[in-house]
């Protein structure tokens, strides 16, 4: 019998190697029918199933192989690959750790462990695994390159520079490591040295776009530093002091929006500005703001990871955070910032909780007053999935969000399922993403299926949902907001929430969780607030960390309370709905935000 089983496995292996996968699967199953605990047959079956796209059965076969023979390196390796493919990161980490115990000298295993750690947001863990891989295989340029990348993400720029230099020394003809080294040098405030590195990268690979953009930033930074020389020492002597500003000049992101509003408002005050884009090559389209101006600081409207230092200029970063404590990497990345400016007390507390010096923290609320063009915005004509005009519904709720776990779209849909019925005179307009994610439809479909299962009710049995997944202009976004009666958020945390605040300024009734930025500009007089509790930041329907919040907390809105609020509106009428319009438009203008920003800089002697 043993000889027959061995011959069966050998035949299955030949079929697998020949690409005859279905026959190999049948051969493996024939062997397992005789000897069910045969780990080599289970491993081969799992590999063949995975190759045919049957991830679930492959995972179970490989799990059984590893259970039967915990020292089977091939099965553990294949199981790790399948689990990584399925993005089941905690299970993948367990399989790879077991493999590392079997193969403690394998640099490849520790590199894969680092990748899994990075996917879950455990950057410090990824760095530890990569250092182990680099010690095991010090002659491989890729080990030092990956270690340098993780060093950039963790904020250890000195280590990143050292590791990337080693990668370059091992493989001097590669451009990628030089590009990342140049970017690291910019973060350290060494643009002249970075320019030389970028030039060398471009000689090796003229198509290296990141090197071209890095070189453009070097030029802009050198010009800004020259203009910042003391009066009488440079070409700008005697010019009116101004500001050098860096941010998303063209982006439709939240950071881009408030950066652009600040620039426009500062220009209305005739503040001289040099506007530098994230990539360096962008220009401010509305007027020429490329020319350097005498300034004492570079004001960054960016997350800390994107901030680069300029010699001779103080570093000021206007940023925000959506949880109870910033990531440790943000603390390290901001070590040399002269000031961190945030829009809310919630963000200030998040920075202080991670140990950032409070004497370098300032609060400057954003503005929420509408654009001049918003008054002419026309609501679009929309039809729900049943063919009824959205405008014909009495209660029209809207949510505008990126399709990310922090926005808690799963919680929003759970509450909508619980609080509404098919015959209700209500509709939910759900604007998700910007239409540039090819995986969006599949991921949203899976989230909806899991939500229906969790609630025990189909979306078809609730009030209708109108989905919008495309990039909209500012005018179109204002029109979309005007199509609704209520703006509703179930977010786990916000740095400000520009769509909600804009909706309130346009006159929509607001429903929001009682946490984070919402407490800066909302209260029970002007909005319906949902109680919330601090919880670990997890992925929907999972115990797994949300990677950007690894090891951190955010807020969970109370879904029972949210369902009661929606039910009361839909079934009890909405005649006395609170309005935040006057409170927001009068209390949080961009003019006031710009004045506060200038006062902060003046008080610190940075303008």
Structure tokens, 344? 């809310």
Q: What is residue 574's predicted lDDT score, i.e. its pLDDT? A: 61
Looking from the CA of 431 toward its CB, the CA atoms found within 13 Å total 23
- Candidates 72, 76, 78, 28; CA nearest to 58 is 78
Beta strands of 355-464 (E only): which ranges?
361-363, 395-401, 426-432
Which tens digits make up the pLDDT trace of 399-411? 999 999 999 999 9
DSSP state letters, 477-538: HHHHHHT-SEEE---S--S--HHHHHHHHTT-EEEEESSTTHHHH--TTTSEEE-EEEEE-B
In our burial notation (b when 16+ CB lie closer than 10 A, e otherwise), range 364-398 reads: bbbbbbbbeebeebeeeebebeeeeebeebebbbb
**CA distance linking residue 445 with residue 224, whole number of Å:** 49
Average pLDDT, rounded, for the chain: 93
For residue 162, give the nearest of 183, 142, 184, 179 by alpha carbon: 184
Identify the residue with better confidence: 574 or 391: 391
206 burial class (0-12, 13-18, 19+ CB within 10 angstroms)?
exposed
Q: Which residues of 93-118 are buried (b: 16+ CB within 10 A; e: fewer)?
A: bbbbebbbeeeeebbebbbbbbbbbb
Q: CA of 375: how far to CAs of 163, 369, 429, in Å? A: 54, 11, 21
- Of the pLDDT bands very low, low, confident and very high (cuts 50, 70, 90), residue 233 is very low
What pLDDT, in 10s, does the model give residues 541-593? 999 999 999 999 999 999 999 999 999 999 886 666 788 999 999 999 999 99
Share of the chain above pLDDT 90, in %: 88
Provide the 10 A C-beta neighbour count for residue 344.
23
- The phi, psi pair for 208, rounded to 5°, reads -70, 95
Residue 160 pLDDT exceeds 70: yes
Per-residue pLDDT band for 489 (boundaries 50, 70, 90) equals: very high
The CA–CA distances, whole Å, from 554 to 143, 498, 575 equal 34, 19, 34
Whether the per-residue pLDDT at 205 is higher than 70: the answer is: yes
* DSSP string computed for 436-456: --TTHHHHHHHHHHHHHHHHT
Say if residues 331 and 304 touch (Cβ distance below 8 Å).
Answer: no
Structure tokens that stand for 408 in this block = 């808690």
| Domains of the chain and any CATH numbers | 1-103 (1.25.40.10), 240-367+591-603 (3.40.50.2000), 376-588 (3.40.50.2000)
Read off the pTM: 0.91
| Average confidence (pLDDT) over 150-167 | 96
**Beta strand 426-432 with 395-401: parallel, antiparallel or unpaired?**
parallel
In tens, the pLDDT along 261-297 reads 999 999 999 999 999 999 998 999 899 999 999 999 9
Question: What is residue 373's predicted lDDT score, i.e. its pLDDT?
Answer: 57
| DSSP one-letter code for 117 | H
Residue 320 in this model has a pLDDT that exceeds 50: yes
pLDDT (mean) for 510-535: 97
Residue-wise pLDDT for 32-66, tens only, equals 999 999 999 999 999 999 999 999 999 999 999 99
DSSP assignments along 311-345, one per residue:
TTSEEEEE---SSSS--HHHHHHTTT-SEEEESSH
How many other C-beta atoms are found inside a 10 Å radius of the C-beta of residue 164? 28
Rounded to whole angstroms, how far apart are CA atoms 555 and 408? 10
How high is the pLDDT of residue 577? 73
Query: What is d(CA 448, CA 349) in angstroms, rounded to the nearest whole number?
Result: 35
The confidence score (pLDDT) of residue 229 equals: 64
DSSP strands (E only) in 185-285: 242-247, 273-277
Kindly state the tokens that stand for 187: 């973060």
- Spatial neighbors of 508 by CB under 8 A, at least 6 apart, are 398, 481, 484, 485, 486, 487
> What does the pLDDT average to over 93-109?
96
Has residue 68 got a pLDDT over 70? Answer: yes
209-217: average pLDDT: 97
DSSP string, 268-315: HTT--EEEEESSS----TTS---S---EEEEEE-S-GGG----TTSEE
238-252, 283-297, 421-435: least confident range: 238-252
- The pLDDT confidence band at residue 227, using thresholds 50, 70 and 90, is confident
| pLDDT, greater one: 435 or 184 | 184
Does residue 414 surpass a pLDDT of 90? Answer: yes
How many residues belong to the chain? 607
Give the model's confidence band at 323: pLDDT under 50 very low, under 70 low, under 90 confident, else very high: very high
């Amino acid at each position: 019998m043993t000889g027959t089983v061995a011959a069966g496995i050998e035949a299955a292996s030949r079929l697998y190697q020949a690409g005859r996968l279905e026959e190999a699967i049948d051969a493996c199953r024939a062997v397992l029918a005789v000897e069910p605990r045969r780990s080599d047959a289970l491993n081969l079956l799992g590999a063949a199933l995975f190759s045919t796209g049957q991830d679930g059965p492959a995972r179970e076969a490989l799990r059984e192989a590893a259970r039967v023979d915990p020292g089977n390196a091939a099965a553990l390796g294949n199981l790790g690959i399948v689990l990584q493919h399925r993005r089941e990161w905690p299970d993948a980490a367990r399989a790879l750790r077991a493999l590392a115990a079997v193969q403690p000298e394998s640099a490849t295993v520790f590199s894969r462990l680092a990748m899994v750690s990075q996917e879950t947001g455990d950057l410090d863990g990824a760095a530890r695994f990569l250092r182990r891989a680099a010690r095991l295989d010090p002659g491989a340029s890729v080990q030092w390159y990956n270690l340098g990348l993780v060093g950039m993400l963790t904020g250890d720029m000195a280590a990143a520079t050292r590791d990337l230099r080693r990668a370059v020394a091992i493989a001097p003809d590669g451009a990628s490591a030089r590009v990342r080294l140049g970017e690291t040098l910019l973060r350290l405030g060494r643009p002249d040295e970075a320019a030389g590195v970028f030039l060398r990268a471009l000689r090796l690979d003229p198509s290296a776009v990141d090197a071209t953009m890095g070189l453009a930033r070097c030029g802009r930074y050198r010009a800004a530093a020259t203009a910042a020389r003391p009066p009488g020492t440079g070409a700008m002597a005697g010019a009116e002091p101004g500001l050098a500003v860096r941010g998303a000049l063209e982006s439709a992101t939240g950071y881009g929006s408030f950066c652009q509003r600040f620039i426009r408002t500062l220009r209305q005050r005739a503040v001289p500005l040099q506007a530098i884009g994230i990539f360096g090559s962008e220009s401010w389209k509305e007027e020429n703001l490329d020319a350097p101006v005498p300034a004492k600081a570079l004001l960054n409207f960016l997350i800390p990871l994107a901030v680069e230092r300029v010699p001779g200029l103080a570093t000021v970063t206007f940023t925000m955070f959506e949880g109870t404590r910033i990531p440790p990497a943000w603390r390290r990345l901001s070590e040399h910032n002269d000031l961190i400016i945030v829009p809310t007390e919630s963000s200030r507390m998040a920075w202080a909780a991670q140990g950032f010096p409070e004497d370098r923290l300032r609060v400057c609320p954003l503005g929420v007053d509408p654009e001049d063009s918003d008054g002419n915005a026309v609501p679009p004509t929309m039809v729900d999935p049943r063919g009824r005009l959205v405008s014909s519904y009495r209660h029209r709720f809207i949510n505008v969000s990126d399709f990310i776990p922090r926005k808690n779209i799963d919680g929003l849909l759970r509450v909508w399922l619980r609080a509404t019925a098919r015959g209700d005179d209500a509709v939910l307009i759900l604007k998700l993403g910007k239409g540039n994610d090819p995986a969006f439809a599949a991921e949203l479909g899976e989230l909806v299926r899991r939500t229906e299962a969790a609630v025990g009710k189909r979306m078809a049995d609730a009030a209708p949902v109108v989905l919008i997944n495309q990039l909209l202009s500012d005018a179109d976004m204002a029109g979309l907001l005007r199509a609704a009666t209520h703006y509703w958020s179930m977010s786990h945390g916000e740095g400000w929430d520009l769509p909600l605040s804009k909706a309130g300024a346009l006159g929509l009734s607001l429903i929001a969780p009682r946490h984070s930025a919402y407490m800066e500009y909302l209260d029970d007089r002007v909005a319906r607030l949902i109680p919330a509790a601090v919880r670990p930041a997890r992925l929907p329907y999972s115990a797994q960390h949300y990677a950007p919040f690894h090891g951190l907390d955010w807020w969970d809105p109370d879904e029972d309370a949210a369902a009661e609020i929606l039910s009361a509106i839909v079934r009890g009428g909405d005649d006395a709905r609170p309005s935040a319009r006057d409170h927001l438009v009068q209390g949080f203008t961009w003019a006031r935000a710009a004045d506060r920003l200038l006062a902060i800089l003046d008080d610190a002697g940075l303008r």
